[in-house]
Structure 1
Amino acid sequence: MDVRVQEDAFDAGAELNAFGKGRTDIGAVVSFTGVVRDVADGLRAMEIEHYPGMTQAAITKIAQEAQDRWALSDVLVIHRYGTLTAGDQIMMVATASAHRAAAFEAADFLMDYLKSRAPFWKKETTGKGTNWVASKDEDEAALDRWT
C-alpha cells in the first residue's frame, strides 16, 4: 500500500505503470485520476489545505479498510494539496486484485471516501471572488452504499 499526500504534480501514466509492474498475482488494476475542473464563474485557483499527520493517517486507514474488505493485492492513493488550477491532476487511486469486481468496487469506495471524508479544505478563487467549497449532499449520499 502506498498513500501519498503531496504538493508536487505526479505523472499518472508513470504511477500506473510502476504500480502493476512485475505483478503476476493480479488479474485487474483499476485506476482513477481526478482533475480540477473549471467552474461557471471561471476558476482562477483552488487552494487545498490539510493537517499533514492527520490527513496521511486518515487516508491510510481507509486504504487499509479497502484492502481488507476487498482482499486487494495493492492500493495506491495520491492526493495533492497547495494551489492548483483548472486541468491540474488533484488525486489518483489505483487498486489491484485477483479479480476485476473487487478492484472496481474498492476504487469506487476510495473515491467516495476521498470526496466526502478525507480531511482536506478547499477554497476556490473565481471571477466572482473566493469561497470555501462546501460538501454536497450527493457526495454524502454516495457513502451510504458502503455501510
Structure 2
Amino acid sequence: MIRVQEADFDGAALTAALRDAAGPGVGGIVTFVGYVRDYAPDTPTDTLFLEHYPGMCERELEDIAATARKRWNLDGAVIVHRVGALPRNAQIVFVAAASAHRGDAFRGCEYIIDALKTRAPFWKRETLAGGNSFWVEQRQSDQDRTDSWDEDTANKENP
C-alpha cells in the first residue's frame, strides 16, 4: 500500500491492514512514524509545507517498496506520506514492513525510510514561529545512509 495524502493517518489501522494482507506467515511487523519537528535550533517551527511531484512520487515509492520486498523477503510493506501544511508535532510519514523474520522486517523498514528521504520527490518548506520560511535542504548524512544500503548489497553480491 502506497499513499500520498493531505489527511492524517491511523498507524494502528495501517498496521492491522498490513497484517491482514500479508498472511499467516508473518512473524513480525516493524513500523516507523515520522513527525514535524523543530529544524532551527533557536526558533520553534510553526508549519512544514510538503510538496510532491504527483504520479512520479508514487512510482518512486512503489519502486522503493518493491526493492525492499526483494532484498529482505518481506511479505508486505506500507508507505503513507503526507503533503500540504503540517503543524509542529503532526505525523508526516508512516512506514511498515512485514516479514516472517524480525531481522528482515527491521532492515526493510529502515531501508524504506532512508531511501524515501533521498529518492522520493518531496520538497519541504519550513515556516518558523517568527514568520521566516526557507526550503529544507537534503542532508549529506541522509544521502550517505541511502548510499550505504547499495554498498552493502554490492559487497554481498561480489565478496
Which category of TM-score, normalised to the shorter sequence, fits these structures?
A: over 0.9
Superposed displacement of residue 51, structure 1:
1.4
Please show how residues 53-72 of structure 1 align to structure 2 within 5 Å.
53-72=55-74
Q: Counterpart of 2:13 in structure 1: which amino acid?
A: A
Which residue matches 2:5? 6
| Residue in 1 that maps onto 2:155 | none
TM-score by length of 2: 0.87
The alpha carbon displacement at 1:25 in A equals: 1.0
- In the aligned structure 2, how far is the partner of 1:4 from the partner of 1:128? 30
Radius of gyration: which is bigger? 2
1: distance between equivalents of 2:49 and 2:147? 28
Counterpart-to-counterpart distance in 1, 2:29 and 2:121: 26
User: TM-score when scaled to structure 1?
Assistant: 0.94
Please list the CA deviations of residues 26-82 of structure 1 after superposition, one character each: whole Å capped at 9, or x if unmatched: 111100011111233111111000111110111111111111111110010000000
Cα deviation code 1:77-119 (max 9, x no counterpart): 0000000011100000000011111100010000101222211
Specify the alignment match of 1:102 in structure 2: 104
CA distance in 2, matches of 1:91, 1:107: 12
Query: Which residues of structure 1 form unaligned runs of 5+?
Result: none
Aligned to 2:122: 120
Greater CA deviation, 103-112 or 137-146? 137-146
- Matched to 2:24, the amino acid is T
Counterpart AA for 1:62: I
1:130 to 114, 133, 137: 133
Shift of 1:133: 0.3
Distance 1:138 1:24 in 2: 38
Select which of 45, 54, 57 maps to 1:43.
45
Gaps of 5+ in 2: 151-159
Tell me the CA shift for residue 16 of structure 1.
1.4
Match of 2:95, SS state, is strand
Instruction: Give, as a single letter, the amino acid of the residue that structure 1 aligns with 2:44.
Output: G
